[in-house]
Amino acid sequence: MHEMALAEGIVQIVESAARANDAQAVRAVWLELGALSHVEQEALRFSFDVVTRGTVAAGARLEVLTTPGLAWCMPCGESVDLARLGDPCPKCGSHQLQVTQGEEMRVKEIEIA
Ligand SMILES: [Zn+2]
Protein backbone atom coordinates (compact mmCIF):
# COMPACT_ATOMS: atom_id res chain seq x y z
CA MET A 1 0.00 0.00 0.00
CA HIS A 2 1.92 3.03 -1.23
CA GLU A 3 -0.66 5.39 0.24
CA MET A 4 1.10 5.02 3.60
CA ALA A 5 4.32 6.43 2.10
CA LEU A 6 2.37 9.22 0.43
CA ALA A 7 0.66 10.08 3.70
CA GLU A 8 4.04 10.23 5.44
CA GLY A 9 5.25 12.64 2.76
CA ILE A 10 2.17 14.81 3.28
CA VAL A 11 2.68 14.88 7.05
CA GLN A 12 6.31 15.95 6.62
CA ILE A 13 5.23 18.89 4.46
CA VAL A 14 2.45 19.79 6.89
CA GLU A 15 4.74 19.58 9.93
CA SER A 16 7.39 21.85 8.44
CA ALA A 17 4.72 24.34 7.34
CA ALA A 18 3.22 24.26 10.84
CA ARG A 19 6.65 24.85 12.40
CA ALA A 20 7.36 27.73 10.04
CA ASN A 21 4.09 29.34 11.12
CA ASP A 22 4.43 28.58 14.84
CA ALA A 23 1.19 26.63 14.69
CA GLN A 24 0.01 24.67 17.70
CA ALA A 25 -2.21 22.42 15.67
CA VAL A 26 -3.32 21.80 12.14
CA ARG A 27 -7.07 21.73 11.56
CA ALA A 28 -7.25 20.78 7.92
CA VAL A 29 -5.09 19.88 4.96
CA TRP A 30 -6.14 20.52 1.38
CA LEU A 31 -4.62 18.13 -1.03
CA GLU A 32 -4.70 18.34 -4.81
CA LEU A 33 -4.88 14.87 -6.23
CA GLY A 34 -4.77 14.09 -9.92
CA ALA A 35 -7.55 11.86 -11.26
CA LEU A 36 -4.88 9.69 -12.94
CA SER A 37 -2.61 9.38 -9.94
CA HIS A 38 -3.22 5.73 -8.88
CA VAL A 39 -4.07 6.82 -5.35
CA GLU A 40 -6.91 5.16 -3.47
CA GLN A 41 -8.57 8.01 -1.61
CA GLU A 42 -9.96 5.77 1.11
CA ALA A 43 -6.56 4.18 1.70
CA LEU A 44 -4.95 7.60 1.75
CA ARG A 45 -7.43 8.90 4.33
CA PHE A 46 -6.84 5.87 6.51
CA SER A 47 -3.06 6.25 6.22
CA PHE A 48 -3.29 9.96 6.95
CA ASP A 49 -5.20 9.26 10.18
CA VAL A 50 -2.58 6.73 11.22
CA VAL A 51 0.56 8.74 10.46
CA THR A 52 -0.76 12.01 11.93
CA ARG A 53 -1.22 10.43 15.38
CA GLY A 54 1.05 12.15 17.87
CA THR A 55 1.93 14.91 15.40
CA VAL A 56 0.81 18.52 15.12
CA ALA A 57 -1.64 17.33 12.46
CA ALA A 58 -3.40 14.79 14.70
CA GLY A 59 -7.13 14.87 14.05
CA ALA A 60 -6.79 17.20 11.07
CA ARG A 61 -9.36 16.95 8.30
CA LEU A 62 -8.06 15.81 4.94
CA GLU A 63 -9.81 17.62 2.09
CA VAL A 64 -9.10 16.16 -1.32
CA LEU A 65 -9.51 18.31 -4.43
CA THR A 66 -9.41 16.22 -7.56
CA THR A 67 -7.51 17.61 -10.52
CA PRO A 68 -9.01 16.33 -13.79
CA GLY A 69 -6.91 14.29 -16.16
CA LEU A 70 -5.77 15.88 -19.41
CA ALA A 71 -3.83 14.42 -22.28
CA TRP A 72 -2.45 15.60 -25.60
CA CYS A 73 -3.87 13.58 -28.48
CA MET A 74 -1.44 13.25 -31.40
CA PRO A 75 -4.04 12.51 -34.13
CA CYS A 76 -6.41 15.26 -32.94
CA GLY A 77 -3.55 17.67 -32.30
CA GLU A 78 -5.26 18.99 -29.22
CA SER A 79 -5.69 18.56 -25.49
CA VAL A 80 -8.50 16.18 -24.45
CA ASP A 81 -10.09 15.07 -21.18
CA LEU A 82 -8.91 11.76 -19.80
CA ALA A 83 -10.93 10.13 -17.02
CA ARG A 84 -8.63 7.15 -16.47
CA LEU A 85 -5.20 6.03 -17.59
CA GLY A 86 -5.53 3.63 -20.49
CA ASP A 87 -8.72 5.22 -21.80
CA PRO A 88 -8.73 6.17 -25.49
CA CYS A 89 -9.14 9.72 -26.79
CA PRO A 90 -12.83 10.66 -26.27
CA LYS A 91 -12.86 12.35 -29.69
CA CYS A 92 -11.09 9.97 -32.07
CA GLY A 93 -10.58 6.75 -30.05
CA SER A 94 -6.81 6.83 -30.44
CA HIS A 95 -4.44 5.62 -27.73
CA GLN A 96 -1.65 7.91 -28.89
CA LEU A 97 -2.06 10.07 -25.83
CA GLN A 98 0.46 11.92 -23.75
CA VAL A 99 -0.75 12.68 -20.24
CA THR A 100 -0.22 16.36 -19.45
CA GLN A 101 -2.16 16.76 -16.20
CA GLY A 102 -3.73 14.59 -13.53
CA GLU A 103 -0.86 12.44 -12.23
CA GLU A 104 0.31 14.86 -9.56
CA MET A 105 -0.36 15.13 -5.88
CA ARG A 106 0.46 18.16 -3.80
CA VAL A 107 -0.42 19.87 -0.56
CA LYS A 108 -2.25 23.02 -1.58
CA GLU A 109 -3.08 24.61 1.73
CA ILE A 110 -3.21 23.93 5.43
CA GLU A 111 -5.45 25.45 8.06
CA ILE A 112 -3.71 26.03 11.36
CA ALA A 113 -4.96 26.77 14.83
ZN1 LIG B 1 -7.95 12.17 -30.51
Q: How far apart are CA 48 and CA 57, in angstroms?
A: 9
- Please give the average per-residue pLDDT across 65-80, as a whole number: 97
Amino acid at 38: H
CA distances in angstroms from 33 to 19, 80, 108, listed in the order given: 24, 19, 10
Query: How many Å lie between the centroid of ligand 1 and the Cα of residue 30?
Result: 33
Q: Structural domain boundaries of the chain?
A: 3-68+102-112
Q: What is the pLDDT of residue 113?
A: 86
Residue 38 in this model has a pLDDT that exceeds 90: no
Query: How many Å lie between the centroid of ligand 1 and the Cα of residue 40?
Result: 28
Burial label for 102, CB within 10 Å (0-12, 13-18, 19+), is buried
| pTM for the model | 0.84
Class of domain 3-68+102-112: alpha beta
**What percent of the chain stands above pLDDT 90?**
96
Query: How many Å lie between the centroid of ligand 1 and the Cα of residue 97?
Result: 8
Cβ neighbours around 2 below 10 Å, total: 12
Cβ neighbours around 39 below 10 Å, total: 19
Query: How many Å lie between the centroid of ligand 1 and the Cα of residue 103?
Result: 20
Q: How far apart are CA 18 and CA 56, in angstroms?
A: 8
